[in-house]
């Protein structure tokens, strides 16, 4: 990661906040702190405090302090776990919406049609990239309820996708995970999972690689696969195998682009109608460290295979 990249991101962040802070002052009014205005919007009609904290990226005490300020103004009624706008709060929110719309309209009005199109396209791309960076992938106990729930969602989707359905009984049991189970989390919500287990000396199998529909298109399939490979290699594995179904075309594209070779069947799993194998080769990578988007950020070394870079995929 280059220092110039870091400085460019920081410079853009400063400019963005400066530009939109000025816009907010002009149209929302200086009497309304941006934090309180956003909080009114996020509360909507009624919100769970836990979800509110996750959306704002703040701890409960910070959010509660801001809500207390709104409550003093008669705009919010607070419960133990919820926040609800009063009639006055709903009116104030509607007024702020009108002002905010006017501010954005003024901004867009200074641009040509082509510039507006480029701005919106750039916003969409920035949102995707920032979402991808915000997803946390971590090793979890295989019996963690959130991890089991993620596997249940995976099984439910395959049951609808496969003409023959899918028997959730073939899911790997927590006690059978001899390797590592990963869980991807966005704003406290599980949005992906995968695991590996040992098949024999130096050989492992990757199973149940899945990304929730709402998180697809972020490169999370690639990130999970890369992290599983790195973790397996760090634990003495030099060859990984996996199986998949012909209907899962996105998964097939991911595996083949990730350097997996087609092999004969290696298991009696009826859903693994296609089988793949990849040899992991340990390579020291200068400058690897926290913050890498390819999923290797938690490891001091990276692992490459006989073929090139990986592409995004959704499920196996």
Q: Which domain holds residue 252?
A: 136-304
- Spell out the residues 6+ positions from residue 9 whose beta carbon is closer than 8 angstroms to its own: none
From the list 274, 265, 200, the residue with the least C-alpha distance to 237 is 200
Question: Which residue in the block uniquely carries the two structure tokens 């049609």?
Answer: 113
- The CATH number of the domain holding residue 101 is 1.10.10.10
CB 276 within 8 A of CB 172: no
From the list 131, 257, 242, 149, the residue with the least C-alpha distance to 193 is 149
- In Å, how far are 81, 163, 205, 280 from 86, measured between CA atoms? 16, 50, 55, 59
* Joined tokens for residue 50: 């836990």
Q: 100 with 155, same domain?
A: no
Q: 98 with 242, same domain?
A: no
Q: 141 with 105, same domain?
A: no
Q: Establish if 116 belongs to a structural domain.
A: no
Sequence-ordered alpha helix ranges (H) in 235-302:
249-257
Q: What is the pLDDT of residues 234-272, one digit of tens each?
A: 999 999 999 999 999 999 999 999 999 999 889 999 999
Q: Establish if 152 belongs to a structural domain.
A: yes
How many domains does the chain divide into?
2
Q: Could you report how far apart the first and last alpha carbons of the chain are, in Å?
A: 31
Q: Establish if 122 belongs to a structural domain.
A: no
* Joined tokens for residue 56: 């704002």
Q: Establish if 269 belongs to a structural domain.
A: yes
CB 35 within 8 A of CB 66: yes
Q: Establish if 104 belongs to a structural domain.
A: yes
Q: In what order do the strands lie in the sheet with 239-244?
A: 136-140, 180-186, 189-200, 203-211, 239-244, 274-279, 261-263
Q: What is the pLDDT of residues 128-182, one digit of tens each?
A: 999 999 999 999 999 999 999 999 999 999 999 999 999 999 999 999 999 999 9
Q: 286 with 245, same domain?
A: yes
Query: What distance in Å separates the CA atoms of residue 92 and residue 40, rounded to the nearest whole number?
Result: 8
* Joined tokens for residue 116: 């507006």
Q: 187 with 71, same domain?
A: no
Q: 146 with 101, same domain?
A: no
Instruction: State residue 72 phi and psi, 5-degree precision.
Output: -60, -30
Q: 238 with 105, same domain?
A: no
Q: Establish if 126 belongs to a structural domain.
A: no
Q: 143 with 187, same domain?
A: yes
- The CATH number of the domain holding residue 178 is 3.40.630.30
pTM strictly above 0.85 = no
Q: 162 with 103, same domain?
A: no
Q: 80 with 195, same domain?
A: no
pLDDT tens, residue order, the chain (316 aa): 688 999 999 998 888 888 777 666 666 665 666 777 888 888 886 788 888 888 887 888 888 888 888 899 999 998 888 889 999 999 988 988 888 888 889 889 999 999 999 999 999 999 999 999 999 999 999 999 999 999 999 999 999 999 999 999 999 999 999 999 999 999 889 999 999 999 999 999 999 999 999 999 999 999 999 999 999 999 999 999 999 999 999 999 999 999 999 998 899 999 999 999 999 976 443 333 333 333 433 333 333 333 333 333 334 4
Q: 60 with 193, same domain?
A: no
Q: Establish if 309 belongs to a structural domain.
A: no
Q: Among 56, 76, 110, where does a domain finish?
A: 110
From the list 22, 56, 25, the residue with the least C-alpha distance to 38 is 56
Q: Establish if 179 belongs to a structural domain.
A: yes
Q: 150 with 277, same domain?
A: yes
């Amino acid at each position: 990661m280059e220092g110039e990249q870091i400085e460019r991101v920081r410079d853009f962040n400063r400019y963005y906040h400066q530009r939109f802070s000025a816009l907010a002052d002009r149209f929302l009014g200086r009497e309304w702190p941006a934090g309180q205005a956003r909080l009114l919007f996020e509360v909507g009609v009624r919100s769970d405090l836990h979800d509110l904290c996750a959306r704002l990226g703040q701890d409960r005490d910070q959010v509660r302090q801001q809500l207390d300020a709104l409550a003093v103004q008669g705009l919010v009624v607070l419960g133990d776990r919820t926040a609800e706008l009063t009639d006055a709060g709903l009116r104030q929110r509607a007024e702020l919406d009108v002002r905010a719309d006017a501010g954005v309209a003024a901004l867009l009005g200074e641009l040509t049609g082509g510039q507006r199109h480029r701005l919106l396209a750039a916003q969409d791309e920035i949102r995707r990239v920032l979402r991808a960076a915000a997803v946390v992938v971590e090793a979890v106990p295989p019996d963690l309820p959130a991890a089991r729930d993620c596997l249940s969602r995976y099984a439910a989707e395959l049951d609808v996708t496969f003409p023959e359905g899918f028997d959730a009984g073939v899911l790997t049991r927590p006690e059978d995970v001899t390797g590592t189970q990963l869980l991807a989390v966005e704003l406290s919500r599980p949005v992906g999972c995968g695991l590996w287990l040992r098949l024999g000396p130096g050989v492992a199998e990757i199973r149940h690689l899945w990304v929730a529909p709402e998180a697809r298109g972020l490169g999370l399939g690639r990130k999970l696969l890369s992290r599983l490979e790195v973790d397996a290699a760090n634990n003495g594995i030099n060859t990984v195998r996996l199986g998949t179904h012909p209907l899962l075309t996105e998964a097939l594209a991911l595996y083949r682009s990730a350097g997996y070779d087609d092999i004969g069947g290696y298991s009696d799993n009826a859903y693994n109608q296609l089988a793949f194998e990849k040899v992991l080769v340990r390579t020291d990578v200068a400058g690897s460290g926290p913050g890498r988007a390819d999923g290797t950020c938690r490891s001091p070394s990276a692992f490459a295979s006989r073929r090139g870079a990986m592409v995004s995929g959704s499920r196996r």
